[in-house]
Amino acid sequence: MANATAMRAHEWQLALPLALFFALFFAAPLLLLIWISFQADRQMTGGLGLAQYVAFLGDRLNLQVLIDTLLLGVKATCLCLVAGYPLAWLCTRVSARFQALLIFLIVLPIVTSVVVRTFAWIVILGRRGMVNEAIVALGLSSQPLHLLFSETGVIIVLTQVQMPLMVLPLITALQRIDPNLANASSALGAGAWRTFFKITLPLSMPGVIAGIILTYTACVSAFVTQSLIGGSRLLYMPMLIFQQAMDLQNWPFAAAASMLFTVSVLLIVGLLVALSRSRAAQLYG
């Protein structure tokens, strides 16, 4: 036993360097962020108070930016789920070779620069881009649509940019489902759609929720895509924080905005985690 304790103490030391690094350069800055967000005035003369939070929440425009950002995440995440689920399903039903190719195509966007992919969309969605020329040529609209610098455009691009984060956990979850369950369901007379909605989809919920968490947090804080596709007319929280911090040098206000944004995102993630726990409890007892 003495040996085991010595071993454990020795093993803990291995986590120490990273823990120390995180304490110094992750925990400390975040604590500083909290402290600065409670500064009463922007010169940071030392008085503490809720002035920055009151200023943010008291202004309808700021509040609207926060709500827009959180909703943008919801819309893009829903689209990712609807478009990504069938692809994940397909990946678990094809030969190993074809699956490897599909996964390569899904993973490639994750490692390709976000700036690069967003740039491609500017060319595709622009007023004289491919999509608009197709729409006009097909007679769907008499003039080009404003896809760039619109919320629709931001949602479309976010969906593509963050899709892999949704599809990969879904593939993992779908692969874990025992195929006998679906077979049993159809042997008992349920049709393919019913089997999907009653068996496959509920059993893949852990993957769905994991995918939603990853996609949602990535979408709301996707600074590059939001600013390049949204343009200057559409303002979301990351850009608001950046402008307040760097252009206006109003650190306490930017800190309060960061806190409100982070806490909102964490609350939504916490809610999803609780939901997935209760789902798991329901499914597996």
- Map the footprint of another protein across residues 179-238, applying CB under 8 A: 191-193, 196, 213-214, 217, 220-221, 223-224, 227-228, 237-238
Dihedral sign of CA atoms 20, 273, 87, 151 in order: negative
> What residues between 14 and 33 interact with another protein by CB under 8 A?
14-15, 17-19, 21-22, 25-26, 28-30, 32-33
Dihedral sign of CA atoms 160, 163, 165, 171 in order: negative
CB of residue 56 to another protein, shortest distance in Å? 14
- Residue count at the site for another protein (CB under 8 A)? 91
- Which residue lies nearer to another protein by CB, 78 or 269? 269
User: CB–CB of 87/167 below 8 Å?
Assistant: yes
Residue 56 contacts another protein per CB under 8 A: no
Candidates 237, 206, 204, 222; CA nearest to 163 is: 222
Position among 42, 55, 109, 145 found at the interface with another protein (CB under 8 A): 109
Position among 104, 139, 284, 285 found at the interface with another protein (CB under 8 A): 104
Give 236's Cβ-side CA count (13 Å radius). Answer: 25
- Which residue lies nearer to another protein by CB, 33 or 51? 33
Sequence letter at residue 17? P
- Which residue lies nearer to another protein by CB, 55 or 231? 231
DSSP string for 159-215? HHHHHHHHHHHHHHHHHHS-HHHHHHHHHTT--HHHHIIIIIHHHTHHHHHHHHHHH
Query: How is residue 229 written in tokens?
Result: 């596709």
> What residues between 112 and 171 interact with another protein by CB under 8 A?
112-124, 128-130, 159-160, 163-164, 168-169, 171
Position among 1, 111, 140, 281 found at the interface with another protein (CB under 8 A): 111
